[in-house]
Amino acid sequence: MTQPKKIILISIDTLRADHLGCYGYPRDTSPVIDALAKEGILFKNSFSPSSHTIPSHGSIFTGKYPSKHTIGFNQNFLVETGKLDNDIDITLAEILQSCGLSTAAFISGIVLGRNTNFNVGFDIYDDNIGEDPYGKRDGLNTNESVFNWLNENSSNSFFIFIHYFDVHGPYHCKQKYQELFNHDPHFKKYTLPNQYSGLNPKKHIIPEYQLLNVKTDQNNTIIDFEKDLGYYITQYDGCIRYVDDNIGLLLGKLRDLGIYEDTLIIITSDHGEAFGENDVYFYHGLTVTREQIYVPLIIKPHKGWTLENRYIDVPVSTLDILPTLLELCEGSLEDPEIDGISLVKIVEGKSDHSIQGRVIMSENERQYALLYANHIMELFQKETPSSTHYPFIPGLIESLDAKKIYWNSGRDYCLSLPFDQ
């Protein structure tokens, strides 16, 4: 195996793995990603270490669980307290920079701005979001910045981090994508609660910023909004297809520059989204249940790393991205706090007991989940909240405490014993 000279890590914010075709979703949301998966390795059971954007990206960049890296669950990204301490945590970009790679990041959501200190180790950290009221940069705009950088740096060895934010709510996709799945055979009508809330979510109630087809009176008071769950899901799926098309444009650019075969590409997400599970609608971060932490992980190898295309069933974490790239690039990092494990052996078809027998954790401020290789997931309430930066629903965490769920299906675990036992 030769070392990768060009690496692209793509994070699609708020993307549930089970809404991609290559993960079994019936809608054609992801033809480009599906095709890319056929060129490499798809991890069928990949989980995020958290269900919020900042903690989970902090884990991707450091290889540590949120309770171990220094930004933790801090969402105050616009003030001093919401920063990664780079004297303590060494990031993926710093490691790859020390390996001689040019480093660049292209950010599409305000929460990952340089105020987090995630920019350390990147030669270029483009977090120019613009004036969008929801703090989102359009994928086409992000691509334009990426392409401009590639035009000048394609001959170099590089590491690029690309963050797409179009799937994150509100699900305002372009007209073409709004109508893409509205009348397909998979559309299922389901009436939503006739209530909405402010930024703080509540059970059975939709956050106001997520409302679609809003009607207001002359005083700008909301008098009506879309109440069909099926419609919201079509809009979410349309946003996925929009990002997928933009990834297609990115891959086309790599081919035009003659560097596609040389480039190692990794696609993942930071967390999922709830569509009514536990009576939570269009929100994430409230729990670390399956729908909020089940994320894609796909690796397209570079030329010189010959891999047999296949699906891998063993559960893995996005924590594993850093040590995997570390091994591939022959970098060094002496930090006993690293929780991720390199996936190189298992990707190459070799046995790795450290991966196959481990328990994976995911956590938010008030809850943690343990995921076992036997498909069972246990949820526990933290005795003391790690911090209090995020909204929460009183009673929700308590209702899930000590609950067991099959993480491969989302069904509750029920112990069944014969009568004579």
Kindly indicate the confidence band of residue 77, based on its pLDDT and cuts at 50, 70 and 90: low
298 and 22 Cβ atoms separated by less than 8 Å: yes
Distance in Å from the first CA to the final CA of the chain? 54
What's the chain's length in residues? Answer: 421
User: What are the structure tokens assigned to 412, written together?
Assistant: 């509750």
Kindly indicate the confidence band of residue 81, based on its pLDDT and cuts at 50, 70 and 90: low
CA distance 201 to 287: 12
User: What are the structure tokens assigned to 338, written together?
Assistant: 């690293």
- Radius of gyration of the CA atoms of the chain, in A: 21
Name beta bridge partners: 360. 371
- Domains in the chain: boundaries: 6-176+228-350
pTM as predicted: 0.96
Average pLDDT, rounded, for the chain: 93
Per-residue pLDDT, 315: 95
Q: How far is CA 235 from CA 101, 171, 296, 385, in A?
A: 38, 6, 20, 34
Per-residue pLDDT, 421: 47
204 and 195 Cβ atoms separated by less than 8 Å: yes
Looking at domain 6-176+228-350, does it have CATH number 3.40.720.10?
Answer: yes
Per-residue pLDDT, 79: 55
Per-residue pLDDT, 72: 92
23 and 280 Cβ atoms separated by less than 8 Å: no
Per-residue pLDDT, 336: 74
Residue-by-residue DSSP string for 384-406: S-S---S---TTHHHHHTT-EEE
Kindly indicate the confidence band of residue 375, based on its pLDDT and cuts at 50, 70 and 90: very high
The stretch 221-249 carries a mean pLDDT of: 96
CA distance 108 to 163: 6
Q: Which pLDDT tens digit goes with each residue over 225-234?
A: 999 999 999 9
Of 98-112, 147-161, 197-211, which gets the smallest average pLDDT?
Answer: 197-211
CA distance 168 to 139: 12
Higher pLDDT, 101 or 186: 101
Strands 102-106 and 215-216 turn out to be unpaired
